[in-house]
Amino acid sequence: MATFFVVNPAAGRGRAGRAWQQIQEALRGTGEWDFACTTGPGQATELARRAAERGYRRVVALGGDGTVLEVLNGILGTSAALGIVPAGTGNDYAREAGIPLQPLAAARFAMTGPELATDVGEVVLGHRRTYFLNVAGTGFDAEVARAVNSFPKFLGGTVPYLLGLAKTLWQYRSVPMTIRVDGQDLSRPVFLAAAGLSRAFGGGMRILPDARVDDGLLDLCLVRDVPALEVLRLLPKVYRGAHKGHPRVEFFRCRQVEFEPARPVAVQADGEVLGTLPGQIRVLPGAVRLVAAPGAPVRSGGEDA
């Protein structure tokens, strides 16, 4: 069996559902494929797991970053490769992986493009493990994600993130934390911490400007306590990755980071709020095979996932 599409028709304010109608017509008679549509949160994981167990060689997430996260969690540890048809509001990881942003072109690419081994991130909260491809974060970042998910995403791209940021900015306070970076303890009042494999989140914000998804490492950005007005000054710089060098911004490269906050604080991965810390984030090198462009920052060799 070849390709199975897991379709979230509600993603991107219904954009994914409309795109899927066009894709079905265009792909009719072109190769062996099947599909199923989700009807609620979390269902994409189970649909993806069943498709992998039935022997589909590629399982494709058609939706937003949250759909990709769910499908990844369904197929990780199986022989299935992950394809992505971006049809959400942010689609940050698809841009990084060189995947076409036009849904029909992305669907064809997902069926025929090369498979490249790429790293996966893991968030561990107690006994719960969640896998992600892009960026996980805690503090202000996670509270913004919570706000974004609380109202309709009536505009795409960066706008929902900016609305969530405005809603959160004047209320959030930094949290004292002990952060253990590959065993080294740091104590900081943390405004924001972002750990990931890829450069951008929030519709193009280059929070981890030097990150690569082929090096077996996490990039970590820590923003210490900053006032609201300073956040507004920093924000335009983040889109260019120019926040490096700011006196309250630190960068690390590591395999694992643990967070022990003074009070419970939210944590998100690829825009989905997972729960609260304490917990840890770590990297699983080359853990999944991704259908991605050879020129993208992912492994092009023949490593096994």
Q: How many domains does the chain have?
A: 2
pLDDT at residue number 156: 54
248 with 270, same domain: the answer is: yes
163 with 194, same domain: the answer is: yes
E runs forming strands in 25-106: 33-37, 58-63, 81-86
> Could you tell me the residue range of the domain that residue 261 belongs to?
124-285
In angstroms, rounded to a whole number, what is the distance separating the alpha carbons of residues 244 and 279?
A: 26
Tokens of 209: 């400007």
185 with 74, same domain: the answer is: no
What are the CA-CA distances from residue 263 to residues 4, 113, 151, 280 (Å)? Answer: 43, 46, 26, 15
**Domain stop point among 113, 144, 177:** 113
**Domain stop point among 59, 89, 113:** 113
E runs forming strands in the chain: 3-7, 33-37, 58-63, 81-86, 115-125, 128-132, 135-139, 175-181, 184-196, 218-224, 249-254, 256-261, 265-269, 272-277, 279-291
pLDDT at residue number 223: 95
266 located within any domain: yes
Tokens of 297: 């920052």
Spatial CA neighbour of 228 closest among 176, 167, 157: 167
For the stretch 93-102, pLDDT in tens is: 888 888 999 9
291 located within any domain: no
Q: Is 156 helix (H, G, I), strand (E, B) or coil?
A: coil
Report the predicted TM-score, pTM, of the whole model to 2 decimal places: 0.88
199 with 246, same domain: the answer is: yes
70 located within any domain: yes
pLDDT at residue number 303: 36
175 with 257, same domain: the answer is: yes
268 located within any domain: yes
300 located within any domain: no
For the stretch 127-173, pLDDT in tens is: 999 999 999 999 988 888 777 766 655 555 567 767 777 788 888 88
In angstroms, rounded to a whole number, what is the distance separating the alpha carbons of residues 155 and 143?
A: 19
* Domain at 11, CATH number: 3.40.50.10330
Q: Does residue 219 register a pLDDT over 80?
A: yes
Q: Does residue 14 register a pLDDT over 90?
A: no
38 with 179, same domain: the answer is: no
For the stretch 174-191, pLDDT in tens is: 999 999 999 999 999 999
Q: Is the peptide bond before 100 cis (omega within 30 degrees of 0)?
A: no
175 with 103, same domain: the answer is: no
Q: Is 73 helix (H, G, I), strand (E, B) or coil?
A: helix
- Measured CA angle at 87 (ends 104, 270), to 5 deg: 135
143 with 210, same domain: the answer is: yes
pLDDT at residue number 152: 59
103 with 131, same domain: the answer is: no
Q: What average pLDDT score do residues 2-27 get? A: 92
Per the listing, tokens 């090096």 go with 215
**Domain stop point among 53, 85, 113:** 113
150 with 230, same domain: the answer is: yes
For the stretch 232-271, pLDDT in tens is: 888 889 988 999 989 999 999 999 999 999 999 999 999 8
Spatial CA neighbour of 203 closest among 241, 235, 239, 150: 239
Q: Which of 121-135, 195-209, 285-299 has the lowest mean pLDDT?
A: 285-299
Helices 43-53, 65-75: axis angle to 10 degrees equals 40
pLDDT at residue number 12: 81
75 located within any domain: yes
148 with 267, same domain: the answer is: yes
What are the CA-CA distances from residue 255 to residues 81, 87, 231, 280 (Å)? Answer: 24, 31, 28, 11
189 located within any domain: yes
56 located within any domain: yes
Question: Percent of the chain having pLDDT more than 90?
Answer: 66
Q: Does residue 302 register a pLDDT over 60?
A: no
* Domain at 225, CATH number: 2.60.200.40
Q: Where does residue 86 rank: exposed (0-12), middle (13-18), buried (19+ CB within 10 A)?
A: buried
E runs forming strands in 203-271: 218-224, 249-254, 256-261, 265-269
154 with 279, same domain: the answer is: yes
pLDDT at residue number 172: 86
Q: What sign results for the dihedral spanned by CA atoms 122, 241, 61, 142?
A: positive
